[in-house]
Amino acid sequence: MRLRNSKGRFYSAANRDLMGVVIRVRQWMIAGQKIATAEELLAELDRVAARHPRLSRRAECVRAALVDNLMDSIISIPTEVLA
């Protein structure tokens, strides 16, 4: 995958790896695929964070967003209960 920024320059290998996972996470959030797919994405985030330690904070942000979306899809509270 050859991603380019707005100025036409290629991203570094570390950023490309993380952005590849981010794209798949976004697709998962939109499509609402299986929970097993989310587990695979979490494992991929672990591998990217281990391979590129300087991006660990960004990987944790992506992980938090994925887990929040996963929890929202698993646990849905009816609005009548909240009122």
pLDDT per residue rounded down to tens, the chain (83 residues):
566 777 778 878 888 888 888 888 888 878 766 777 888 888 999 999 999 999 889 899 989 988 888 887 766 655 565 55
Q: According to the model, what pLDDT value does residue 83 have? A: 54
Question: Please, which residues have CB within 8 angstroms of residue 58's CB and are 6 or more apart in sequence?
Answer: 18
Tell me, yes or no, whether 3 lies in a domain: no
Tell me, yes or no, whether 72 lies in a domain: yes
Tell me, yes or no, whether 7 lies in a domain: no
Residue 76: what residue type?
A: S
pTM of model > 0.75:
no
What are 38's two structure tokens?
A: 């989310």
How many domains does the chain divide into?
A: 1
Tell me, yes or no, whether 28 lies in a domain: yes
Question: For the chain, how are helix, strand and coil distributed in percent, rounded to 5?
Answer: 75, 0, 25
Range of the domain at 63: 13-82
Tell me, yes or no, whether 37 lies in a domain: yes
